[in-house]
Amino acid sequence: MEYYQYLKALHLIFVITWFAGLFYIPRLFVYHIEAADKKEPERSILTTQLKMMTRRLWYIITWPSAILATGFALWLLVLMPFWLEQDWMLVKLGFVVLLFIYHFKCHLIFKEFQQDVIKWTSNGMRLFNEGATIILFAVIFLVILRNALDWIYGVIGIILLSVILMLGFKMYQRIRSGNPNA
């Protein structure tokens, strides 16, 4: 048990680097989408560079971080199995499942982009990027507040966060289009 805090620290480090990858890869996807609209030779140069950057981010940072964060989490649960009896932990694990779904969706998009198959708009990808943010907020509040969290207020808070993110996204779209009153 003396190494429990070390395992917890390693788990948190890899959760942070995993989220860093999940925050950045959709941004690279946005750049890739926008590069596809450029004229040659700019399109080819940018696309080649972006493919290399996403491949390195995905396979050198994001996937290893996801695996290590999960491995350390499982190790912690083996050491402290009573956490699985806590309601907040079960809800947190539900959000972790959502995070893995998000991760796997990013992987599918990554594979498509590596083959120059682009099915997204840049605005759609910017919106998709907020999924990891919502999951991060939910998990952090669950871990910090634990049993003090009123589930109804927590759900309302996540919905409000989503609405605020959507409104911010819409404002960004208007500013970017050059028509702030649209």
Q: In sequence order, which ranges of 40-150 are alpha helices (DSSP H)?
A: 42-56, 63-79, 87-114, 122-128, 130-145
Task: Report whether 32 belongs to an annotated binding site.
Answer: no
Q: What gap in Å lies between CA 129 and CA 133, rounded to an integer?
A: 8
Task: Report whether 103 belongs to an annotated binding site.
Answer: no
Q: What is the pLDDT of residue 26?
A: 97
| Residues of the chain where predicted confidence (pLDDT) is lower than 70 | 147-152, 154-155, 179-182
Q: What is the pLDDT of residue 127?
A: 86
Q: Which two tokens stand for residue 138?
A: 């939910």
Amino acid at 125: M
Place of tokens 């750049």: 31
Burial status of residue 5 (CB atoms within 10 A of its CB: 0-12, 13-18, 19 or more): exposed
Q: What gap in Å lies between CA 65 and CA 62, rounded to an integer?
A: 5
Q: What is the pLDDT of residue 179?
A: 67
* Helix (H), strand (E) counts: the chain: 7, 0
Buried b (16+ CB within 10 A) or exposed e, 58-96: beebbeebbebbbebbebbeeeeeeeeeeebbebbbebb
Note the residue count of the chain: 182
The residues, any chain, with a CB within 8 Å of residue 165's CB and separated by 6 or more, are 130, 133, 134
Question: What's the distance, CA 113 to chain centroid?
Answer: 18
Q: What is the pLDDT of residue 24?
A: 97
The residues, any chain, with a CB within 8 Å of residue 133's CB and separated by 6 or more, are 23, 161, 165
pLDDT tens digits for 90-143? 989 999 999 999 999 999 999 999 999 999 999 899 889 988 988 898 888 788
The residues, any chain, with a CB within 8 Å of residue 131's CB and separated by 6 or more, are 102
Which sequence spans correspond to the domains of the chain? 4-177
Amino acid at 1: M
pTM metric for this prediction = 0.85
Q: What gap in Å lies between CA 17 and CA 4, rounded to an integer?
A: 20
